[in-house]
């Protein structure tokens, strides 16, 4: 086995600091924007998939499964090169990358929302109906406040993964951190130092976020996310409506009567 000698030199990277900072900014910007757009998509799709109408659920299920079951890199390349041919409109790489990342993470967020809502115990739904709540108020006041707490850990984990996913936009010449690293490598012929720096920067951003996500999970685990059934209506906010007080009063008087 031959010994490989290499002289490491990171000093030259200082001359390219503006490119590195710009690339890191683009990476963070793509992450934030696509997470926000993806959450909006995921919330809408996840709630609509709870519908019993198959005309609504079938197209949404197809969207979710297509984006979850195909590689993100293939999606980015297809949307950049093939989709403009299909619709007859040229799409810049910046727009194509943002569109794909938003739809991709939206598909995963949709499953998180759907799973979170379905995880709420049936008794919570029944008690809300007993108070006369219709479907939308029942979701807003009873189900979603409980479901959101259960969604937080997977939401955070998926968002952290999204930051890593942004590195794939460099394949269509979007000037993110990895793309800038490729440009610096082409100019200096020092790929080892450049990609080591890129890896360190990704780690420096992702590791604190991972620790924060773990801390949130630990705090949520210490709390009782499932309401304790001291009373049938314990989950209902006190300000909900006078009807709730009437029902609780009727329940109490009924239990005390012979």
CATH number of the structural domain spanning residue 138: 1.10.3720.10
Say if residues 179 and 23 touch (Cβ distance below 8 Å): yes
Domain-located, residue 58:
yes
- Over its length of 258 residues, how does the chain's per-residue pLDDT go in tens digits? 677 788 899 999 999 999 999 999 999 999 999 999 999 999 999 999 988 899 999 999 999 999 999 999 999 999 999 999 999 999 999 999 999 999 999 999 999 999 988 888 888 877 878 877 787 788 878 888 888 888 988 999 999 999 999 999 999 999 999 999 999 999 999 999 999 999 999 999 999 999 998 888 888 877 754 444 444 444 445 445 444 444 444 444 444 444
pLDDT given for residue 233 in this prediction: 45
- Please, what sign has the CA dihedral across residues 21, 22, 23, 28? positive
Domain-located, residue 90:
yes
Give the 3-state DSSP-derived string for 45-99, with helices as H, strands as E and coil as C. Answer: HHHHCCCCCHHHHHHHHHHHHHHHCCCHHHHHHHHHHCHHHHHCCCCCHHHHHHH
Domain-located, residue 13:
no
pLDDT given for residue 168 in this prediction: 95
Domain-located, residue 107:
yes
Structural domain for 151, as ranges = 20-253
Domain-located, residue 165:
yes
Domain-located, residue 148:
yes
> How many folded domains does the chain comprise?
1
Domain-located, residue 3:
no
């Amino acid at each position: 086995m031959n010994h490989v000698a290499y002289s490491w030199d990171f000093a030259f990277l200082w001359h390219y600091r503006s490119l590195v900072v710009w690339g890191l900014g683009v990476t963070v910007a793509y992450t934030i924007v696509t997470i926000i757009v993806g959450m909006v998509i995921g919330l809408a799709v996840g709630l609509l998939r709870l519908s019993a109408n198959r005309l609504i659920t079938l197209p949404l299920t197809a969207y979710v499964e297509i984006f979850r079951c195909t590689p993100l890199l293939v999606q980015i390349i297809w949307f950049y090169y093939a989709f403009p041919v299909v619709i007859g409109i040229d799409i810049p790489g910046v727009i194509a990358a943002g569109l794909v990342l938003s739809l991709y993470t939206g598909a995963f967020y949709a499953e998180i929302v759907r799973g979170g809502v379905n995880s709420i115990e049936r008794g919570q739904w029944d008690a809300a109906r007993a108070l006369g709540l219709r479907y939308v108020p029942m979701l807003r006041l009873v189900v979603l406040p409980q479901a959101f707490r259960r969604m937080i850990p997977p939401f955070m984990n998926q968002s952290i993964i999204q930051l890593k996913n942004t590195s794939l936009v460099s394949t269509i010449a979007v000037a993110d951190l990895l793309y800038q690293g490729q440009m610096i490598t082409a100019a200096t012929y020092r790929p080892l130092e450049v990609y080591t720096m890129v890896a360190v920067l990704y780690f420096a951003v992702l590791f604190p976020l991972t620790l924060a996500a773990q801390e949130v999970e630990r705090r949520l685990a210490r709390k009782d996310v499932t309401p304790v059934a001291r009373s049938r209506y314990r989950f209902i906010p006190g300000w909900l409506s006078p009807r709730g007080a009437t029902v609780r009063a009727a329940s109490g008087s009924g239990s005390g009567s012979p």
